[in-house]
Chain A
Amino acid sequence: MQRDEKQLDNSLEATIQRVQDLKGSLSALLVKLETEYTLNWPSVLDSFALLSGQISSLNKLLKHEKTPLLRNYVLLPLLLSPDRDADLEKLTEGRVLAFNHEVVPDYLRTKPEPDVEERQQHISKQASNMTVENAQKQMNAVNRISTQLLDMITSFRDEWELAQKTSQQQTSSIADTNTLLAAVNFGKGLKSGSENVHSSQSQPSPAEHAQPGRQASSSMKAPSSIKTNIKSASSLHPYQR
C-alpha cells in the first residue's frame, strides 16, 4: 500500500513538472508572438516543435506502466471556503483566489461543460434518428472526400518537392562550369577562330617525329588544344630543343 502511494506521488510530481515545462514554452511562444515584430517562420516552427515534443513526452509519461491509472483515484473536496487562500493563490500563480463553491465545480469536473454536453446530446439524438442506409451513404461520401483530399495533398507535395529540386539545380550548370574551366585553363573558345583551325593537324611538326622518346615519356598528358598556335612559333624562335 505504501509503495503504491509512493509511486503515485512520484508520478504526480513528474506530471506536474512536465505540465509546467509545457506551460513555460506556451508562454514563451505567446511572448514571442506579441513582442517580436520581425517574427520569422523558422522560429515559430521551432516553438511548435518544442511544444509537440513536450506534449508527446507528457503523453508517454501518462501511459507509462509505472504511472498508476489516475482515473481510478477519487478526489474528494472536503472543505470549501469562501475566504481568500494565500497558499492556493501562490500555487496557481494568482489564477484561483479561493477554494469556494463557484470555482470548485468548474475545476474538478470530469465531464464537459453543460452547454457542450447539451450540444453533444443533440448531435447523438440526431444520429440515432437517422436510418441505416442514410448513414451508410453519408459515411461513403465522407470517405470519398477524404480520400480525394489525401490524393490531392500527396500529389501536390510530390510536385512541390520536384519543383524545389529543379529550382535548386538551376543555380548552376555543369556544362557552364566545364566551358569556363576549359576556357581559363586551355583557352578554349578564347582564341580567334582563324588560328584555331590551324594547319598543325594536317602538317605535323617535324620536331614531333624527331623526338619519339620525349613524346613517349610525356604521353600521359593529353594532347593540348594549345598545339594549334605553337606551330607558328616553332619555326621562328631560336631555342629549338
Chain B
Amino acid sequence: MESMLAAMNKKIVPLQEYFLQGSVLDASRDILLHRLRGICDNIGGIEKFQDHEMVYTIGTNANNVLQLRARRALDDPEAPWLLRYVGEPDFGDRSKHTLVRSSIDVGTSDNLVQFLTEMGFRLDHEFVVSGHFFRKGRMKITVSKIYRLLQPGDTDKVEALSKSYLVELGVVTVSGQDQVQEEMKNFAEHLKPLVHLEKTDLRKLQQMGT
C-alpha cells in the first residue's frame, strides 16, 4: 500500500524484473530457435533485433557508482532511444526460482547521449547486441549475440565476444508478483537440456572479473 501511494505521488510505478539467464553454443542456436518458435506465442514469424547499447556511469568511487544504459535500435532508425536503469540483482534463497532486480525503462529522444554527457555521465563501455526475441504470455525470451566494438562508436566494425548466444528469460512486472517465478521455472524446464536457464550469481562473476 505504501509503495502504491509513493508510486502515485511520484508517477513512477516501481517495476521488478524477474529473470533467468543462460547461453547456447552457435551450433545449437537453430535448434533452440525452432523449439522457441514452437512453444512461444507466434506473431508472424521470428522477430529480430539489433541494438547498440552504451553504458554510462557517474560517481566518485568504485562502490558508489550510478549506472545507466542507453540503447538504440540499429535496424530501425525511427525507433526511440531507450534509457534503462537496473538495480542490484537479488539472489534470494533456494525457494526463489529466479533472480529479481528493480528496473526502470524510459523511451527518449535521440539526443540522449548529449544529455547524459552534459549531466556528467561518462561512457563506461558499449556493445552491439543482435538476435531474436520471443514472447510467451508476459514472458520475454531473447537469444542474442554480444559483439565488441573494434573502434569506439563505430557499430559497423564489430567482433563477436564468444562462440555462444546469450539466452535470457525475463518478466517485467510490479513488485510482489512472486507467482510469476513458477511460470518461468516451468518454461525454463522446456528448454532443457538444450539451454540451462539459471540464477547466476552476478556478484561472484564480478569478483572473478576483478
Would B148 and A176 count as touching, CB distance under 8 A?
no
Chain A 194-221, CB-CB to B under 8 Å as 1, else 0, gives 0000001000010110010011001101
Q: How far is the CB of B82 from chain A (nearest CB, A)?
A: 15
Chain B 20-34, CB-CB to A under 8 Å as 1, else 0, gives 011111011001100
Would B206 and A186 count as touching, CB distance under 8 A?
yes
B196 CB within 8 Å of chain A:
yes
Would A171 and B193 count as touching, CB distance under 8 A?
yes
Chain B 183-210, CB-CB to A under 8 Å as 1, else 0, gives 0000000000111100010110111111
A172-B25, A172-B164, A190-B127 are contacts. A180–B205 as well, Cβ < 8 Å?
no
Segment from B5-13, B37-45, B62-70 that makes contact with A: B62-70
A181 CB within 8 Å of chain B:
yes
Instruction: Report the bound CA distance from A219 to B126 in whole Å.
Output: 27
Instruction: Report the bound CA distance from A211 to B63 in whole Å.
Output: 11
Residues on the B chain within 8 Å of A224, using CB = 62-63, 65, 206, 210
Interface residues of chain B: helix, strand, loop or mixed (majority): mixed
A131 CB within 8 Å of chain B:
no
Segment from B52-60, B106-114, B173-181 that makes contact with A: B52-60
Segment from B73-81, B90-98, B117-125, B133-141 that makes contact with A: B117-125
Would A184 and B166 count as touching, CB distance under 8 A?
yes
Would A180 and B203 count as touching, CB distance under 8 A?
no
Total number of B residues with any Cβ neighbor in A under 8 Å:
50
A229 CB within 8 Å of chain B:
yes
Total number of A residues with any Cβ neighbor in B under 8 Å:
50
A179-B162, A189-B148 are contacts. A234–B60 as well, Cβ < 8 Å?
yes
Instruction: Kindly report which residue of chain B lies nearest to residue A180, judged by CB atoms.
Output: B166
A178 CB within 8 Å of chain B:
yes
A183 CB within 8 Å of chain B:
yes
Residues on the B chain within 8 Å of A186, using CB = 205-206, 209
B48 CB within 8 Å of chain A:
no
Residues on the B chain within 8 Å of A170, using CB = 25, 27-28
Would B57 and A230 count as touching, CB distance under 8 A?
yes
Instruction: Kindly report which residue of chain A lies nearest to residue B122, judged by CB atoms.
Output: A233
Instruction: Kindly report which residue of chain B lies nearest to residue A219, judged by CB atoms.
Output: B63
Residues on the B chain within 8 Å of A187, using CB = 55, 124-125, 127
Residues on the A chain within 8 Å of B210, using CB = 222-225
- Total A-B contacts with CB atoms under 8 angstroms apart: 158
B100 CB within 8 Å of chain A:
no
Residues on the B chain within 8 Å of A200, using CB = 62
Would B205 and A181 count as touching, CB distance under 8 A?
yes
B46 CB within 8 Å of chain A:
no
A27 CB within 8 Å of chain B:
no
B4 CB within 8 Å of chain A:
no
B61 CB within 8 Å of chain A:
yes
Q: How far is the CB of B5 from chain A (nearest CB, A)?
A: 28
Residues on the A chain within 8 Å of B125, using CB = 187, 190-191, 229
Q: How far is the CB of A172 from chain B (nearest CB, A)?
A: 5
Instruction: Report the bound CA distance from A173 to B24 in whole Å.
Output: 7
Most buried by A among B25, B31, B61: B61
Would B166 and A181 count as touching, CB distance under 8 A?
yes
26 A–B contacts, CB within 8 A, in A order = A170-B27, A172-B25, A173-B23, A176-B163, A178-B205, A178-B208, A180-B146, A181-B200, A182-B205, A182-B206, A183-B127, A189-B148, A190-B125, A190-B127, A207-B60, A208-B62, A215-B61, A221-B88, A223-B63, A223-B207, A224-B62, A226-B65, A229-B125, A230-B65, A233-B122, A237-B122
Give 9 closest A-B pairs by Cβ, nearest first: A227-B62, A187-B125, A237-B120, A176-B164, A171-B28, A177-B23, A233-B122, A190-B125, A207-B60
Known: A183-B127, A224-B63. 19 other contacts (CB 8 A): A170-B25, A171-B194, A172-B196, A176-B163, A181-B21, A181-B166, A181-B200, A181-B205, A184-B127, A184-B166, A190-B125, A190-B126, A207-B61, A214-B63, A226-B62, A226-B67, A229-B125, A234-B60, A234-B61
